[in-house]
Amino acid sequence: MIRRASSGERLTWEAGPAAAALETLEALGGKEVDASLAQKLETADPRLRPVLIELAGRRRIAAARAALRKAADDESESIRVAALRALGMTAET
């Protein structure tokens, strides 16, 4: 189950199997995983988009920046917040 983030809190899945799945996806290596995730950001079910966006940020997927910028203007607050956080995580230093 997806839990909505409050101000200053990272959007996460509830503890349990979903949290373990998110951590596993974060740890998976490979450019193919990053490319697949970046491609799904714009077309995923709106209920899953905040989690996928967070995952893109946690994985620091540079190829997702265009989709994240677009998501930052989404009508859904949870998607906008997740996108802005993810953009911060993927920023070039």
pTM: 0.74
Q: What is the DSSP letter of 64?
A: G
Mean pLDDT to the nearest integer, 18-41: 82
CATH assignment of 31-93? 1.25.10
Give the tokens for residue 38.
């970046």
Give residue-wise pLDDT tens across range 50-74: 989 999 999 999 999 999 999 999 9
Residue with tokens 């996928």: 52
Instruction: Write down the pLDDT at residue 86.
Output: 95
Residue 49: DSSP 8-state: H
Q: Are 74 and 80 in contact (CB under 8 A)?
A: yes
Q: What is the pLDDT of residue 15?
A: 60
Whether pLDDT at 1 is above 80: no
Q: Is residue 52 within 8 Å of residue 74, measured between CB atoms?
A: no
* pLDDT for residue 70: 95
